[in-house]
Amino acid sequence: MAPLAALKFALTSCLLAVAVAGVSPVAAKGPTDPAPGSTAQVRLADLPKQGRETYERILQGGPFPYEKDGTVFGNRERLLPIKNRGYYREYTVRTPGSRTRGARRIVCGGPPKVPDACYYTADHYASFRRIVVE
């Protein structure tokens, strides 16, 4: 078999094996990636100072510096556990030097002052880590 033909055969075999297994080579998850519907964790103590301050404000019921704080978060990307609309609320985590709200947020589910769970995102909802209080 010619080298080019052998290469084509090897690539085709790999792609066929991946297709049969039902795994996309582009979307394959690594061992550290959370499973769909679950999230990684972050300790409250490991959040940036502004994140810890926002978390304390949430538990106190405010005051919040941004008008959008406390509004319903729709979870349209379904990265957080699926709940009824209105379950999640979003809060801004200040970004020093930013003229806008920035990309950092805390999203909490459940009653506003005693949430069931809170999640931190530093990338404007592209990923979440569940906040663990220790």
pLDDT, tens only, 27-71? 333 333 344 455 699 999 999 999 999 999 999 999 999 999 999
Q: Are residues 9 and 48 in the same domain?
A: no
User: Which pLDDT band holds residue 19 (cuts at 50, 70, 90)?
Assistant: very low
For the chain, the domain total comes to 2
Range of the domain at 110: 39-132
| 69, 61 contact by CB (below 8 A) | no
From the list 53, 56, 77, 124, the catalytic residue is 124
Residues 6+ apart with CB under 8 A from 70: 62, 64, 89, 90, 91, 112
Between 88 and 22, the more confident residue is 88
Q: What is the pLDDT of residue 17?
A: 44
Q: Report whether pLDDT(10) > 70.
A: no
From 23-27, 48-52, 110-114, the region with the lowest mean pLDDT = 23-27
Residue 34 inside a domain? The answer is no
Determine the pLDDT at residue 134: 85
- Report the distance separating Cα 111 and Cα 127, nearest Å: 23
- Calpha distance 14→20 (Å, rounded): 10
Q: Which one is predicted more confidently, 102 or 21? A: 102
Please give the model's pTM, rounded to 2 decimal places: 0.71
Active site residue 90: yes
Instruction: Give the integer Cα–Cα distance in Å for 100 and 30.
Output: 34
For residue 70, is it within any domain? yes
Q: What is the mean pLDDT of the chain?
A: 81
Inside any domain, residue 33:
no
- Per-residue model confidence (pLDDT) at position 39: 65
Cβ–Cβ under 8 Å, residues 131 and 44: yes
Closest by Cα among 93, 17, 78 to 48: 93
The reply to whether 124 belongs to the active site is yes
Options 53, 56, 67, 90, the catalytic residue: 90
Edge-to-edge order in the sheet of strand 105-109 = 40-43, 129-132, 117-121, 105-109, 88-92, 71-72
